[in-house]
Amino acid sequence: MSGKVSGKSKSGKAAGGGVDGKAQSRSSKAGLQFPVGRIHRLLKKGNYAQRVGAGAPVYLAAVLEYLAAEILELAGNAARDNKKHRIVPRHLQLAIRNDEELGKLLGSVVISQGGVVPHVGVHPCPPSSVLTLPSDRSFAPAIQHRKEAPKSNELASSPYLSHPM
């Protein structure tokens, strides 16, 4: 009577490799949520190469899971900043475009219903159009255009300021 009677290997572990002899997926063996088996099948069907190694789908699943977790983390922060409990495409757009590396990776991607990222310019008006009031309280030429910004002592001596600077 040779062979395995108890269903256990020589090391004492179950023959199936999993807990209580049950089959264990490659995703759970790698500690991933993304499907390693499906990614392996898609790599083989996609004609990317003649052969696909055993570690390639595990690595690709890990990279995809990391990217998804990173985007969801940033989108969740954007939703929380907007006092929302649900992530919508707008939050994904804000998360991706405000992150330098994700923005570079997904720069050519259009997110439907994402809107645009608000951007306020550094100088809303050019410095040549700085407006000053005359110091003699005459309102005939009420606004004078200056080529340079007024000096701080000119502003401090202006009678139009309610408190000194």
pTM for this entry: 0.62
Per the domain annotation, does 69 fall within a domain? yes
Q: Is residue 156 scored above 80 in pLDDT?
A: no
Residue 35 has a pLDDT of 98
Task: State pLDDT tens for residues 30-44.
Answer: 999 999 999 999 999
The domain of 90 spans 26-105
Per the domain annotation, does 110 fall within a domain? no
Whole-angstrom distance, CA of residue 89 vs CA of residue 68: 14
Whole-angstrom distance, CA of residue 7 vs CA of residue 19: 13
Per the domain annotation, does 11 fall within a domain? no
In the numeric block, which tokens belong to residue 90? Answer: 């707008």
Q: What is the CATH number of the domain that holds 88?
A: 1.10.20.10
Amino acid at 140: A
Residue 21 has a pLDDT of 83
Whole-angstrom distance, CA of residue 72 vs CA of residue 62: 15
Total number of domains in the chain:
1
Q: E strands along the chain, which residues?
A: 130-132, 144-146
Q: Is residue 126 scored above 90 in pLDDT?
A: no
Per the domain annotation, does 64 fall within a domain? yes
Per the domain annotation, does 49 fall within a domain? yes
Per the domain annotation, does 100 fall within a domain? yes
